[in-house]
Structure 1
Amino acid sequence: MEFLQYILVLLLVFCSFFNGSFAQPPTCAQAGCPTGGVWGEWKTIGSGQCDMECGGCGTLVQTRECISDPICPCTGSSNRTTGCNFNACKYPTQKVCCNPYVPMVVNKVQICGPIPKTIDSSACCPQSTLYSEWSGYSSNGNKGWVRTRRCLTASIGCPCAAKDITETVDVCPCPAAAGLADSDCEGTSLPGNKGYVQTMAIDNEACTATVMFYAANQATQTPPFYFCKPMASGYQGAMNFQGAYITVKESVSKKCVAHTAFDCEGGKNTDKYPSAPRQDVTFTCNLQTKKWILDFTGNDIDSYYQGNWTLN
């Protein structure tokens, strides 16, 4: 008999949690953001094993997420400690229920209640649909890129007009990085001479980019001036370019930083005066921020330019 009562209590607890999670709340009285935001379900942290056998005397730590943030910020706590195992205790236990729960009979079964809800009784469905911010992009497996906005309120029983909104693009979502202006790096000590901005060559299928570096802004001439090749005496005198660097403005630090892209004397080039040397600087699109990552450092950048330095 006691075993059957225990099973009935478990069913009551399950039904209480089920109804609290999935019964659709009423529509909010006010338009826009609901007062206090929209909280998700309370979920147990850890193993979920109760440390006591009856009376709601055990404790579980639970947490919940503000599912409307940052569109509608929430008020209240995101953590709570709640009781567990709500079947009434039997003799010789000194008390039937632990505070704050009291004995009650539900469907002819004695339990300790009221059983905590997984959704607050004050929850309501917003009058207008709430969707998340756009996710980062990911490959759709067909040479395209897709991102998603989720229905924020579906988990508490408030459906959206469309469960999820998706957007697909055929080109890499990172736009070509802007050219870095001198004024962007004021107060920063940078090596050599500023060169120019060579346009990124973007691979839309792989979402990567390449910048081909030359020794100076003469790449359109025939033949062009390259790294490690003495320039003609008619161009500001004979000049031997030792190498080139890429200067980037990093997205997070907002600092201008120079990195060597090509060094003729540093062993990166087997022939000091090849006929057409070049060096590719590579980037990878950050599909979350839509910024280009300089592969050499792994950092997002806002803009860049090519610089160079000479032996004489």
Structure 2
Amino acid sequence: MKSFLIFISLFLRAVQNLPDCSFDVCANGGMWSEWSTTSKCPTECGSCSKNLYTRKCMSTNFPNCPCVGDTYRYILCNSKTCVYPAQRTCCIPYVPMIINGSQQCGPFPKDPDRSSESPCCPKGGFWSTWSAYFRDGEKKAWSRTRRCLTEEAGCPCTDPGTTIETSTACPCRKLVDVSSLVKTNLGTYTLNPVYNDEDCTASQVMESQKSAVGEPCNEYTSWKYYRWTNAVRYVKPGRSDYVGIKISNCEAAHEKKIFLYCDRETLNYRLAINNDEVYGYNQIYQ
């Protein structure tokens, strides 16, 4: 046990120089700290007592890396053989034997939770997920950050220069012309949004001259409030079907626009009118 305690001490002092693991840490039950104790062994020899040891899961906040196993256990302490006038040399069921060149009371129980390759660091370390983009007024740019989750455990992440990403343009993915998916038996206008990098929005002026033949406005005779409307069809990210939506009253006097804003976490634009994420859209006409 003395050699085991020395090993723990060396581990704590050398924690910044751990080798990379040769196995998948998360598939192997997570990243645990070493077993440690603050208790003093109540007996001086003979493997007669155990101390309470605890360990901490160091991968709790790592992505998809929960720990599997116990957080505490009792481990033999003071395993050297007792000498006269002790009542016995070793406490039952242990017997005297030579272990690591010295006389000990053993054999020691096998430790199923201890790998011959531990302690070690996950290859490359673990990064947190990126934060949402935020406006950096000094740089006049959009920035996002992340941090190395394993650094406090003595396991630095690779690529330490990538703790921050900055973009002068709005970081959201540009909208896509999806006319091939939405036109069916209708006509479509070209996608032509105007992007505002300062506030991460996009907009497009609708074609809106009322026409009895249906171009560019669409006739909705059953519509409660007005007959002619601007309409678009849009496709959501990861989908191939489309959604149709009325944008504005063609007969109204104001300029008719479609407005979208950037979701700085998903990095997709969302329609201001209903908050749906949008991969691409086109104005349609009959």
2:281 paired with 1:308:
no
**Structure 2 regions of 5+ residues with no counterpart?**
1-7, 34-49, 80-112, 220-226
Which residue of the partner structure matches residue 24 of structure 1?
A: 16
- Which range is displaced more, 130-139 or 249-258? 130-139
What TM-score, normalized to structure 1? Answer: 0.53
Which residue of the partner structure matches residue 147 of structure 2?
A: 150
- Secondary structure of the residue aligned to 2:171 is coil
Contact 1:243–1:308 (CA under 8 A) maintained in structure 2 = no
Aligned-partner residue type, residue 207 of structure 1: C
Q: Distance in 1 between matches of 2:272 and 2:238?
A: 16
Contact 1:197–1:304 (CA under 8 A) maintained in structure 2 = no
2:206 paired with 1:209:
no
Which residue of the partner structure matches residue 235 of structure 2?
A: 249
Contact 1:211–1:281 (CA under 8 A) maintained in structure 2 = yes
1:89-147 residue CA offsets vs partner (Å, 9 max, x unmatched): xxxxxxxxxxx5156369xxxxxxxxxx9x99724235656656655422223331112
The counterpart of 1:261, out of the listed 234, 247, 261, is 247
Contact 1:64–1:79 (CA under 8 A) maintained in structure 2 = no
Aligned-partner residue type, residue 294 of structure 1: L
Contact 1:150–1:163 (CA under 8 A) maintained in structure 2 = no
Contact 1:203–1:209 (CA under 8 A) maintained in structure 2 = yes
Aligned residues: 220
The counterpart of 2:255, out of the listed 258, 262, 278, is 278
1:3-29 residue CA offsets vs partner (Å, 9 max, x unmatched): xxxxxxxxxxxxx89x76982363137
The counterpart of 2:74, out of the listed 94, 101, 108, is 101
Aligned-partner residue type, residue 25 of structure 2: G
Q: Distance in 1 between matches of 2:195 and 2:232?
A: 18
Mark the CA change 1:63 to 1:259 in structure 2 (over 3 Å): closer, same or farther.
farther
Aligned-partner residue type, residue 282 of structure 1: F
Mark the CA change 1:305 to 1:172 in structure 2 (over 3 Å): closer, same or farther.
same
Which residue of the partner structure matches residue 82 of structure 1?
A: 71
Percent of aligned positions with the same letter in both sequences?
Answer: 21
- Secondary structure of the residue aligned to 1:293 is strand
Mark the CA change 1:193 to 1:64 in structure 2 (over 3 Å): closer, same or farther.
same
The counterpart of 2:170, out of the listed 169, 172, 175, is 172
**Structure 1 regions of 5+ residues with no counterpart?**
1-15, 43-54, 84-99, 107-116, 216-225, 265-271
Instruction: Return the offset for 1:251.
Output: 1.0
Aligned-partner residue type, residue 275 of structure 2: G
Aligned-partner residue type, residue 171 of structure 1: A
- Secondary structure of the residue aligned to 1:101 is strand
Q: Distance in 1 between matches of 2:132 and 2:246?
A: 31
Aligned-partner residue type, residue 77 of structure 2: M
The counterpart of 2:268, out of the listed 291, 294, 304, is 291
